[in-house]
Amino acid sequence: MRRPIIAGNWKLNKTPKESKALSKEILKKVQDVKNVDILVCPVFTSLSVVDQVIKGSVVKLGAQNCYWENSGAFTGEVSPQMIKELGCGYVIIGHSERRAMFSETNETVNKKIKAALTDNLIPILCVGETLSEREAKETLEVIRSHVEGGLNGLDKQQAKNLIIAYEPLWAIGTGKVATPEQAEEVHKFIRELLEKLYDKSISDAVRIQYGGSVKPDNAEELMKKPNIDGALIGGASLKADSFAEIVAITSKLV
Ligand code: PGA
């Protein structure tokens, strides 16, 4: 019912030259896929070269972060307008690495989401619990606070346009993937929460990606779950073969 979206989060990897090569390779392998949204999110400095490669194709461009102001004395920041002009349609907001290492909070994440939406970017709101939170059985409370905090003050129309990525921190870059059942439990919880916060038209429409050690050999079982609408992929998105394989697996399930 919802169109799946497979996104590559390249994190702090690939120079512009390397990004150009990787995006060319990816494009060659996925260019005929019509039933899945495909997204790559390189570092800021590679956005422009990657845009030149994928422009007009099935592969779309996203950034990994943005600030909430469009200009001013904010040394080192990059605005929604700027990434939009470089060809971005999407932006990852509140990735757990940014929350943990760059002091992002629900409040700053919320400001960034609002700013991104104002400039017609589709935000991918990242939510997820740590291992100790999971072990203390706090997972759903943490997810609730990330979702409610991120969406604070957003109206129905704004909420409808965004994507949520559930990424348990203990599964990111660890090779330790959540079981499809663990992931589905949280995805279902997020969908029910969206229905409570808005209504069924919103909870039915919003796509919820899973992220955390998604690989070709575990993608199918995850993507088969009714509330999992795609993946946000780190490590496996840095190789054209594995990224394209996950796209192909998802496409076959549609
Ligand atoms: P991973 O990263 O696929 O390398 O676990 C996912 C993410 O952080 O988005």
Atom of ligand 1 nearest to the CA of 171: 5
Residue ranges of the chain whose pLDDT lies below 50? none
pLDDT for position 228? 98
Q: Which of 9, 64, 95, 163 to mutate to test the pocket of ligand 1 (most atoms within 8 A of CB)?
A: 9
- For residue 130, what are the CA distances in angstroms to 110, 135, 138? 20, 9, 9
| Cα torsion angle, 12, 135, 189, 117, sign | negative
pLDDT for position 1? 74
Active site residues: 95, 167
Residues with beta carbon inside 6 Å of ligand 1? Answer: 9, 167, 172-173, 211-214, 232-236
pLDDT for position 132? 95
pLDDT for position 242? 98
- Rounded Cα distance between 149 and 202, Å, is 17
Q: Which of 214, 222, 237, 246 to mutate to test the pocket of ligand 1 (most atoms within 8 A of CB)?
A: 214
- Rounded Cα distance between 55 and 50, Å, is 8
Atom of ligand 1 nearest to the CA of 175: 5
Q: Where are the beta strands (DSSP E) in 107-160?
A: 122-127
